[in-house]
Amino acid sequence: MTDYYEILGVPRDASAEQIKKAYRKLARELHPDVAGESAADRFKDVSRAYEVLGNAEKRQQYDMGSDPSAMGGGGGGAGFGFQDIFETFFGGGAAPRGPVPRSRRGQDALVRLDLDLAEAAFGARREIQVETAVACGTCGGSCCRPGTSVRPCEVCGGRGMVQRVARSFLGQVMTTQPCSACQGFGTTIPEPCPDCSGEGRVRSRRTLTVDVPAGVDTGTRIKMTAQGEVGPAGGPAGDIYVEIRERKHDVFVRRGDDLHCNLEIPMTAAALGTTIDLDTLDGDQEVTFEPGTQPGDVVTLKGLGIGHLHVGGRGDLLVHVDVRVPTGLDDTQAELLRQLAAARGEERPEAKVSSTHGGVFSRLREKITGR
């Protein structure tokens, strides 16, 4: 079976637009009026390939192993006809009427901003340096040397379009194309501005202030409207998007708007209960551990996490407990522990077997994901 994808020079997963574009390019190159009669057979092959691949239903049949064009499906099928031929040679649809505006909107820009955890939690005001296009101060965006102005194009008379007679297999056809003298603008710049070379804008480094709301996270984008590049000829400015990257903290791990940390306490403190000062994002906070606190227990400090983005309030700080077992006991300490074990009947305790875990945050992940 003929490989129509190979004939058009496109991959098998090509989009409909890619297939159409490839067909138009080959049809212009291979049409007998352009390449001569020697290319007639190749032109027919290209047309037949597009007849099949340019039609969604026929393409599906072809991909399943059958060739619709070999089963009487030729000629002017739904994917190929006079309109495709006309668009191939005469510009693709109705030509634009009138000149193209010289002024256009500027491009958007993306800037990355690194933040500490506290800045993400509470919000911050930061300054960033950006290099973008700004309106030319000499010509004010007019593109012309001061004291001069644009002139109507002498070739197209200010219309931005010119008409030409094209010879094709359909005969002589009148086509409309953008004027090459003025690039379709309808005007020319006889004396371009010396500072911007007739562009109406120049490059400049600026300092902008970014108000970062509380609760941002890595990947959050803050839109700064109309702070991007000024468009050509004084066109409106695009936007700047500030993308946040949050630095890792030495102590706290962020999960959504909650913070987690691991706190190690002595075995005696876990058994008897205690209160410990913890340095948080809000300063020192007392953390109370009840008597009998076990390894892996979690103490929650409400409202000491990350601010909820746009909705107010804050997440929590979750303190995960690790119990430190004493080592290097002297004789007195060892004897006290033996007395405690005897009092609790634990000289020869029965071992309790349980599944192993990879640590506090592995256990946390298991609770969240269920795995």
Query: Which amino acid would we find at residue 348?
Result: R
Q: Is 144 annotated as a binding residue?
A: no
Q: Which helix (H) or strand (E) holds 119?
A: helix 117-122
Q: Is 136 annotated as a binding residue?
A: yes
Q: How far apart are CA 288 and CA 4, in angstroms?
A: 75
Long-range contact pairs involving 359-367 (C-beta distance under 8 Å, separation at least 24): 360/262, 360/296, 360/320, 360/322, 361/253, 361/260, 361/262, 361/320, 363/296, 364/255, 364/260, 364/320
Q: Is 261 annotated as a binding residue?
A: no
Q: What is the DSSP string of 198-234?
A: TSSEEEEEEEEEEEEPTT--TT-EEEETT-SPPBGGG
Cβ 67 vs Cβ 150: under 8 Å: no
- Helix, strand, or coil (residue 33): helix
Cβ 259 vs Cβ 120: under 8 Å: no
Block residue for tokens 């004939």: 7
Block residue for tokens 């009138």: 98
How long is the chain?
A: 371
Q: How far apart are CA 25 and CA 88, in angstroms?
A: 8
Q: Is 143 annotated as a binding residue?
A: no
Residues 254-276 as b or e (16 or more Cβ within 10 Å = b): beebbbbbeeebeeebbeeebee
Neighbours of 76 (CB within 10 A): 12
Q: How far apart are CA 253 and CA 218, in angstroms?
A: 13
Q: Is 156 annotated as a binding residue?
A: yes
**Which tokens hold the place of 169?**
């297999």
When computed from its CA atoms, the radius of gyration of the chain, rounded to whole angstroms, is 37
Q: Is 193 annotated as a binding residue?
A: yes
Binding site residue list: 136, 139, 153, 156, 179, 182, 193, 196
Binding site residue list for Zn(2+): 136, 139, 153, 156, 179, 182, 193, 196
